[in-house]
Chain A
């Protein structure tokens, strides 16, 4: 029997409220399938299951709040049969008497999820939640304005004829978001002995290379400098494992793979840092589409549990309207955060000693002294600088 537990959804989320099951007893579950939607202080999250099996029993009802780590469903492993104490016939429909309660509630409280999935566009978990608050019938919204026509909060509010800021529910969401950020950052500053380093990185070669590449492309295929910076961090980290991973139970555990959390500001306030998985293995084009999809889903309130639990390091990139540099606060249990300030023209000294104008960025590293020292941190930033001088190798 597989015990499916509510996964850890980040340092600042210690419990979740089940909004909806996407599975029912007897269903086959594939590895990576979204099986439930869970609400947290930051967002409604699509929770994935990473073990294949057959759903045996759902142990938590919609609207119930449980701590992370709680077993919320039981699955039969492939080949496993129903336990003898309840089984009169070995097939999955055996727990028929048990399956009624979890099924009935969604059927009366809301439209069954399976109907949505088959019939039309995806509905973001946050939109689903908002629809419930506003008593909007989601069946009446036939297409949405989110990514790939998905239904997002704005569509629900339009349907309800309400203006977003007036709702009390949203204000408390903003407050909750602030509290969870405060809790995680207070823990970080209390537990993690940070040290900070900065390095100015010339970007003339990178900017020229990117401009030439983008000039040949249609607008929607153009790649942002931020993507190049993220890829460069991923490549440099392969040689500096002590900045990539987690500090748990008094010891550092290197991450398996480089999964870069991207700090994304949300338009209605707050911040999330979901992961782009396996950054060094992805091409720039793949990273650009991952990034734009991630930003849009983060803002639509539709993230997946693995994106919140997997980041092995965070990158915060302020973009072209941000400040000159940023000293990041590490997101526990991670052990480092890389910050990029505004990319802009700076006066730099070239190899011949002449002053030149060149695009440049100040990169910073905030890292955990329990795991590494400033000497290695400086070497990491130097490696990052070198990687960015050979942009063609980042493609």
Chain B
């Protein structure tokens, strides 16, 4: 999966959790949870959804680093590349 496909997936999964979001107005380099109203429960559900669809495990200690869509995509991209290499 290249980065563009990955980004599409990350946005689609977000819309499945928060259906009211218009993906075209999201700013990928700005804090996600101030643009999209995700409470702690939604946030966990979003990360679990990504885990299920991509097979990437995200340790809880990494949750707080993933503040923007750009960071999330880069993180997942790196994990997927590592998995492929292993």
Contacts and interface: CB of A to CB of B under 8 A. Distances in A.
A222 interface: yes
Interface stretch (B5-13, B52-60, B68-76, B78-86): B52-60
A220 interface: yes
Interface stretch (A71-79, A83-91, A211-219): A211-219
Contact of A226 (B41, B59, B61): B41
Given A145-B16, A267-B19, A219 B57 contact: yes
A214 B60 CA distance: 7
Contacts of A164: 19
Of A164, A224, A265, the most chain B CB neighbours within 10 A belong to A224
Contact of A154 (B19, B39, B40, B52): B19
Nearest to B20: A267
B47 interface: yes
B42 to A, nearest CB: 9
A215 B60 contact: yes
Given A220-B48, A267-B20, A292-B45, A319 B39 contact: yes
Nearest to A210: B60
B51 A219 contact: yes
Interface residues of A, number: 23
Nearest to B51: A219
A284 B4 CA distance: 39
B26 interface: no
A214 B61 CA distance: 10
Contacts of B45: 292
Contact of B58 (A219, A292, A322): A219
A47 to B, nearest CB: 27
Contacts of A44: none
A292 B41 CA distance: 8
A3 B58 CA distance: 54
Given A145-B16, A215-B59, A295 B41 contact: yes
B24 to A, nearest CB: 14
Contacts of B43: 320
Interface residues of B, number: 23
A222 B19 contact: no
Nearest to A221: B48
A222 B60 CA distance: 9
Interface string A174-202: 00000000000000000000000000000
B30 interface: no
B48 A226 contact: no
Contacts, number: 48
B41 A291 contact: yes
A321 B60 contact: no
A4 to B, nearest CB: 35
A268 interface: yes
Of B34, B44, B45, B57, the most chain A CB neighbours within 10 A belong to B44
Contact of A219 (B18, B19, B40, B47): B47
B51 A211 contact: no
Contacts of A225: 40
A226 B20 CA distance: 25
Nearest to B52: A220
Contacts of A220: 48, 51-52
Interface in A91-136: none
B31 to A, nearest CB: 10
A321 B33 contact: yes
Nearest to B16: A145
Contacts of B52: 220
Considering the complex of A and B, which 3 residue pairs feature the smallest CB-CB distances, nearest first?
A319-B40, A319-B39, A219-B51
Interface of B: 16, 18-20, 33-34, 37-41, 43-45, 47-48, 51-52, 57-61
Given A222-B44, A226-B41, 17 more contacts: A154-B19, A164-B19, A215-B60, A215-B61, A219-B44, A219-B57, A220-B51, A224-B40, A224-B44, A268-B20, A295-B41, A319-B40, A319-B41, A320-B43, A321-B33, A321-B40, A322-B39
Interface of A: 145, 154, 164, 211, 214-215, 218-220, 222, 224-226, 265, 267-268, 291-292, 295, 319-322
19 contacts: A145-B16, A211-B60, A211-B61, A214-B60, A215-B61, A219-B47, A219-B51, A220-B51, A220-B52, A222-B44, A267-B18, A267-B20, A268-B20, A292-B41, A292-B45, A319-B41, A320-B40, A320-B43, A321-B33
